[in-house]
Amino acid sequence: MSDARSTANSVSYADVQAAAGRLHGVALRSPLERNDRLSRLFGAEVWLKREDLQPVRSYKLRGAYNLISSLSPTERANGVVCASAGNHAQGVAFTCRRLDVACRVVLPRTTPRQKRAQIESLGGPGLTIVMAGHTYDEAQDVAAALAVELDAALVPPFDDRRVIAGQGTVMLEVLDQLAVARPGVAAGVVLVPAGGGGLLAGCAVVSASVSPSTRVIGVEPMGAASMRAALDAGEPVALDSVDTFVDGAAVKRVGTLTFALVRDLVADVVSVAEGAVCTTMLEMYQREGIIAEPAGALAVTALGANLGIEPGSCVVAIVSGGNNDVSRYGEILERSLVHEGLKHYFLVDFPQEPGALRGFLDNVLGANDDITLFEYVKKNNREIGPALVGVELAAKSDLAPLVERMASSGLTIERIESGSPVFRFLV
């Protein structure tokens, strides 16, 4: 146990304070805003820490700048290399342009186009982008090899003392801002997105030193719950696969340093469904005008989980990033509707005779049901024509009557369940 504790204590509160000094005038002291809608909805005093408003639209600038600004002149002259799903790369690119350091950024091929373009605009002439692999972990292997080949400094996105300390400055600001806004009121819970664990670990270091009564809770997507897997196994383990939709938190294996800190200092780590994240993103955009990326909406989504939040207590959710590609909103809406039980898919065998489709529309669909997808999947059978039909409901309660009408229609209709390969292809 002594060795493990030594590892966990490798990042200190003093390290975070030193990072805050380096970041002064570089990173924005992002707003801490009370959210009336969420406060009413969850019966608590909910505050949002707006890291989506940073110059690179995420908290990642903090860790990247703290590490790179700490390098020796010789190390800076050799340049740096990093791997990233997008936000860390933006922080590195912004930092390197500001400090006049050459950098190579390795991005997974799945990185959204908007993030690639933003990285290029932030990095300037000293930036080289390398596209490799389909996940962060594959890109990281390429980056590590490049760093050795070029004798360049590798800038990890989370598993480094300097990166963790830089990310921890978010919590320094939270506690300071809350003390001004609500004197004498401590944060009962702080919800922190958990990908590789850098932000979560850094926030936990500060909370343990300054506000030990505050429960720091990590939040990760169900399709990439790597920190929960590590905690259950007692050490970092690699997931067999990850859902890359929440790309800013889709990490197969958490860091060694971050794991030790999270294990020792974090109250809990919970996971939320990707569909619920999509619903939160849409609500934040429509109600508050906040453009949150999927990872940026993780903490707010967790407000709906069973966290044991005391009524009227003070809760802070970190909105970690706002780099969302507008072209993804179609998928975001689709996932949200499915999660809310408002969108369903069916395979319908239509007899090849006049009026078959009209009968389905008149006798099966309800007054408020809407067909959003209709596509024949087999066209060489003269007797029947299987069709893939997507139906959007006005209310979740409309599903049972729809299924009953389908059962009595005389048609062969199969509902496509959410766990099937066909369903995963659709959403």
Structure confidence by residue, pLDDT tens digits, 193-239: 999 999 999 999 999 999 999 999 999 999 999 999 999 999 999 99
Q: Return the pLDDT at 1.
A: 29
Paired residues of 351 in beta bridges: 384
Instruction: Give the tokens for residue 244.
Output: 């890359």
Q: Considering the domain 60-154 in this protein, what is its CATH number? A: 3.40.50.1100
pTM, to two decimals: 0.89
Structural fold of domain 342-426: Alpha-Beta Plaits (3.30.70)
- Has 115 been annotated as catalytic? no
Over residues 360-418, the pLDDT tens digits come to 888 999 989 999 998 887 655 555 668 899 999 999 999 999 999 999 998 889 998 87
CB hemisphere CA count around 165 (13 angstroms):
24
Q: How far is CA 263 from CA 222, 252, 254, in A?
A: 19, 18, 12
Q: Return the pLDDT at 21.
A: 97
Query: Which candidate in 30, 49, 60, 207 is catalytic?
Result: 60
The structural architecture, per CATH, of the domain 2-59+161-333 is 3-Layer(aba) Sandwich (3.40)
Sign of the CA dihedral 360, 363, 367, 368? Answer: negative
Q: Distance (Å, rounded) from C-alpha 223 to C-alpha 240?
A: 11
Which range (75-79, 218-222, 355-359) has the least confidence? 355-359
- Has 320 been annotated as catalytic? yes
Average pLDDT over residues 56-60: 95
For 348, phi then psi, to 5°, come to -115, 125
Q: Distance (Å, rounded) from C-alpha 67 to C-alpha 9?
A: 18
Over residues 261-315, the pLDDT tens digits come to 999 999 999 999 999 999 999 999 999 999 999 999 999 999 999 898 999 999 9
- 4 pLDDT band, cuts 50/70/90, is very low
Over residues 145-201, the pLDDT tens digits come to 999 999 999 999 999 999 999 999 999 999 999 999 999 999 999 999 999 999 999
CB 218 within 8 A of CB 201: no
Q: Distance (Å, rounded) from C-alpha 45 to C-alpha 247?
A: 29
pLDDT above 70 as % of the chain: 94
Does an H or E element contain 59, and which? none
The structural domains of the chain, with segments of one domain joined by +, span 2-59+161-333, 60-154, 342-426
Query: Which candidate in 58, 207, 226, 320 is catalytic?
Result: 320
Q: How far is CA 174 from CA 39, 50, 53, 183, 414, in A?
A: 17, 10, 15, 13, 51
Same fold, 2-59+161-333 and 60-154: yes
